[in-house]
Amino acid sequence: GYVHVSEQELLMDQAETGLEEKPDKPLALMLDDDVAFLMYVKEGLEKAGWSVIATTQAQKAIEYFHDVLPDCLVLDLHVPDTSGFEVMRMLEQKRKKQYIPTTLISNDCLRETRLSAFRMGVDDMMCKPLDMEELVVRLERQLNNKRRLERLLFVDELTGAYNRKYMNELFAKLAADLKRTGEPFTLAMLDLDHFKQVNDSYGHLIGDQVLCGFTAFLKEHLRAGDCLIRYGGEEFVVLLPGTGLSEAKTLLTRLIDRFSHVSFDSSSGAFACSFSAGAALVDDAEQSMHKWLEAADHALYKAKVSGRKRVET
């Protein structure tokens, strides 16, 4: 089911992937020992629509970084007892896993400084006195690149649902939340019923349209914090934070019912599809994601053998 998506379509799709729905402002984490300068930049960025966490202490910057995971880092090269480089070194492991564009701001813009900065892996560098407008433009460019990269990494091309790579990341985060708060969440596996027959009767292109329509339907009906993942061909996983098993079952039953009213077009007339679901309660942070996927898959199997178009736990 490979479909070529043009650049234009990809841009249009941005509006529909959860990544872009995020209404909250982009977050910059800034370190500079010059308080007046720090405040000046913070205010400038905030005016341009950013949230800014600003600190004069390198140690604090590192703590905040782990707590909030900013969209970008703005580091002063010269801070007492340490340097922007040192902070980057300390965050190296984390920066390897996530793309957090880092801008270095320096008093000197000597060739040697610039070379070391870019050799260290900074993404951008600016000099003092700072051109505020230029910083904003540069950070926006970085943010766009970051969003674009995340889309390429985490979003399924055909449907616009998240992919398994994203599921791994999100599951780890939810498991960490569970460990901290003790609040379980639900993992459900959804599978279109007799989807092979859709392909066989109407062709693969119509099959693809059903997959896209199914995704659009689910996105419309899931709640803001819920996450939809295309797990495989016509199999989807939904992660439902803060949702227990009986609530999830109610939700999925309602979705199954509503989806039966969605109709798809084909050259031989309109048709409807159904899906089945299996849900598992994730209530033990020590267990691997694999175990919960297996549990949900087992429940899904029960739903299939007991007649489809239903949810089991």
Question: By the criterion CB under 6 A, which residues form the site for ligand GH3?
Answer: 1, 158, 191-196, 199, 204, 207-208, 211, 233-234, 304, 308
Give whichever of 25 and 304 is closer to ligand GH3, judged by the CB atom.
304
Q: Which residue is nearest to ligand GH3 (CB)?
A: 1
x/- site string to Mg ion, residues 76 to 95, per CB under 5 A? x-x-----------------
Catalytic residue among 16, 46, 150, 234: 234
Q: State phi, psi for 107 to the nearest 5 degrees.
A: -70, -35
Going by C-alpha positions, the residue among 165, 144, 143 that lies closest to residue 155 is 165
234 is catalytic: yes
Q: Does residue number 312 form part of the binding site for Mg ion (CB under 5 A)?
A: no
CB 42 within 8 A of CB 54: yes
- Which does residue 304 bind out of ligand GH3, Mg ion, none, counting CB within 5 to 8 angstroms by kind? ligand GH3
What's the angle, vertex CA 292, arms to CA 287 and CA 298, rounded to 5?
140
In the DSSP assignment, the letter for residue 287 is S
Token code pair at residue 305: 């053998």
Handedness of CA 103, 107, 108, 109 (dihedral sign): positive
Residue closer to ligand GH3, measured from CB, 30 or 296: 296
Q: Does 123 bind Mg ion (CB under 5 A)?
A: no
Token pair of 295, please?
């549990």
Partner interacting with residue 78 (select from ligand GH3, Mg ion, none; CB below 5-8 Å by kind) = Mg ion
In the set 13, 16, 20, 33, which binds Mg ion (CB under 5 A)?
33
Rounded distance between C-alpha atoms, residue 237 and residue 233, angstroms: 12
What minimum distance in Å lies between the beta carbon of 141 and ligand GH3? 34
- Residue 208 binds which of Mg ion, ligand GH3, none (CB < 5-8 A, kind-dependent): ligand GH3
**Residue 71 binds which entry of ligand GH3, Mg ion, none, CB below 5-8 Å type-dependent:** none
- Output the smallest distance, CB 26 to ligand GH3, in A: 33
Q: Rule CB under 5 A: say whether 275 interacts with Mg ion.
A: no
- CA 202 – CA 141 distance, rounded (Å): 44
* Tokens encoding 270: 């309109």
Q: Looking at 191, 238, 243, 256, which residue binds Mg ion (CB under 5 A)?
A: 191
CB of 228 to ligand GH3, least distance (A): 16
Stretch that binds Mg ion, among 8-16, 33-41, 47-55, 250-258 (CB under 5 A): 33-41
The rounded radius of gyration (Å) of the Cα atoms in the chain is: 24
In which region does residue 226 sit, left (phi positive, over 0), alpha (psi from -120 to 50) or beta (all else)? beta
Three-state DSSP state, 269: coil
Partner that binds at residue 196, options ligand GH3, Mg ion, none, CB closer than 5 to 8 Å by kind? ligand GH3
Q: Where are the alpha helices (DSSP H) in the chain?
A: 7-13, 18-21, 35-47, 58-68, 84-90, 92-97, 111-120, 132-154, 164-181, 195-202, 204-221, 245-259, 289-305
Residues 201-240 that bind Mg ion (CB under 5 A): 234-235
Active-site residue set: 234
The residues that touch Mg ion, with contacts defined as CB under 5 A, are 33, 76, 78, 191-192, 195, 234-235
